[in-house]
C-alpha cells in the first residue's frame, strides 16, 4: 500500500488512506499578506494530478501480489486474515467476492485500519475502489477510479493488471481539511489522522499517531515555500513542497524511491 504521510489526504489513493497534516491561523489577513503557511486549508480534489504512479497488482492462484508496492509483496487471498510485515500494518485480508469484485481489510494489532471494495467495469477498463479509513479521529469514506493501462495476466482475476488514477470521488471533509500553526521557528501540524510539532530547519520528529517508525523534518525554503521530508529507517519516503500563494496552497509530493509525483492545491478556509 502506498501512503502519503503529508498534508494531502486527497492523495490517499492507491490501496490506502493517507495521513493528514495541518496549522492554526494567526489571522487570515496577516497570514495571506505574509505568505505564511499558518491557517486552515481544504484540499481541492479536482486539482490532483499524478505522474509515474501506476498501480500494478494481480489476484491469481489464490494469491494477491502487489508489484508496485515498495517493496513488492504477496499474500494469500482466501478471505482470511494473513499476518504481514508491512509498515504500520500487521495483518491483511483479501476476499474474491465474484468475477468482478474483491474486498480488502487491514489492521494493526486489534485495531482495524480500513476496508475497501474493488470493482472492475464490465468492459474491464475501469476500476473503482470504494474505501473506508478508521485510522483517524473521524471515520473517512471515499472512492478512487482507475483506468487500465496494461492487461491482467492470463488467468488472473479481472481487477488485476496495471492502473492509473483517473479521478477522485467524493471524500469526507475530515480527510481534506488540515491546519498549520507557526510560532517563531516552531511549526505545528494537525489533521484527522494526526500531526506533528517540529522546529523549522531542526531535527526530525516522530509524527503523532505514526506507527510505521517514520520521522518528519520540516524546513522553510523561502518566505512562502516550506518542505516536509518524511523518512523511515534512513530512507526518504516522501518529500512534500508547499508553496503559499495568497489563499491558495500548492503542494507537490514526490516519492524518490519510484519518482512518483502528486500535485494538488488547497484553499485557505
Pairing of the two strands 161-171 and 177-183? unpaired
Model confidence, pTM: 0.86
Q: Domains along the chain?
A: 9-49+174-268 (2.40.128.20), 55-171 (no CATH)
E-only strand ranges, the chain:
39-43, 49-51, 55-60, 63-66, 73-76, 82-86, 89-98, 101-108, 111-120, 126-133, 140-150, 161-171, 177-183, 186-191, 194-199, 214-222, 225-232, 235-245, 248-255, 260-268
Pairing of the two strands 235-245 and 248-255? antiparallel
- How many other C-beta atoms lie within 10 A of the C-beta of residue 132? 17
Q: Which parts of the chain have pLDDT scores under 70?
A: 1-34
Predicted pLDDT of residue 80? 97
Please calculate the CA angle 203-4-60 and round it to the nearest 5 degrees.
135
Predicted pLDDT of residue 34? 55
Predicted pLDDT of residue 211? 87
Q: 110-152 pLDDT, tens per residue? A: 999 999 999 999 999 999 999 999 988 899 999 999 999 999 9
Q: Residue 34 in contact with residue 206, Cβ under 8 Å?
A: no
DSSP 20: P
Q: Residue 176 in contact with residue 43, Cβ under 8 Å?
A: yes
Distances (CA, A) of 86 to 71, 141, 186: 9, 23, 32
| Of residues 121, 131, 195, the one with CA closest to residue 158 | 121
| CA 210/CA 195 separation, integer angstroms | 9
Q: Which three three-digit cell numbers place residue 26?
A: 494567526
Amino acid at each position: 500500500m502506498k501512503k502519503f504521510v503529508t498534508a494531502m489526504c486527497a492523495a490517499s489513493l492507491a490501496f490506502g488512506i493517507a495521513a493528514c497534516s495541518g496549522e492554526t491561523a494567526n489571522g487570515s489577513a496577516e497570514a495571506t499578506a505574509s505568505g505564511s503557511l499558518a491557517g486552515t486549508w481544504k484540499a481541492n480534489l479536482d486539482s490532483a494530478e499524478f505522474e509515474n504512479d501506476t498501480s500494478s497488482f494481480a489476484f491469481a492462484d489464490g494469491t494477491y501480489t502487489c508489484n508496485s508496492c515498495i517493496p513488492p509483496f504477496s499474500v494469500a487471498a482466501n478471505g482470511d486474515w494473513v499476518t504481514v510485515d508491512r509498515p504500520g500494518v500487521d495483518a491483511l485480508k483479501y476476499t474474491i467476492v465474484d468475477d468482478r469484485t474483491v474486498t480488502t481489510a487491514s489492521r494493526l494489532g486489534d485495531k482495524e485500519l480500513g476496508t475497501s471494495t474493488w470493482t472492475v467495469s464490465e468492459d474491464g477498463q475501469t476500476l473503482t475502489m470504494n474505501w473506508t479509513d478508521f485510522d483517524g479521529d473521524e471515520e473517512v469514506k471515499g472512492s478512487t477510479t482507475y483506468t487500465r493501462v496494461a492487461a491482467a495476466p492470463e488467468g488472473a482475476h479481472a481487477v488485476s493488471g496495471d492502473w492509473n488514477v483517473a479521478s477522485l470521488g467524493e471524500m469526507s471533509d475530515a480527510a481534506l481539511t488540515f491546519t498549520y500553526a507557526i510560532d517563531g521557528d516552531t511549526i505545528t501540524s494537525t489533521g484527522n489522522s494526526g500531526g506533528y510539532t517540529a522546529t523549522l530547519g531542526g531535527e526530525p520528529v516522530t509524527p503523532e499517531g505514526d506507527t510505521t517508525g517514520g520521522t518528519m523534518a520540516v524546513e522553510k525554503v523561502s518566505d512562502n515555500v516550506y518542505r516536509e521530508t518524511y523518512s523511515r529507517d534512513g530512507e526518504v519516503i516522501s518529500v512534500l513542497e508547499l508553496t503559499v500563494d495568497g489563499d491558495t496552497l500548492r503542494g507537490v509530493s514526490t516519492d524518490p524511491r519510484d519518482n512518483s509525483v502528486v500535485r494538488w492545491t488547497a484553499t485557505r478556509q
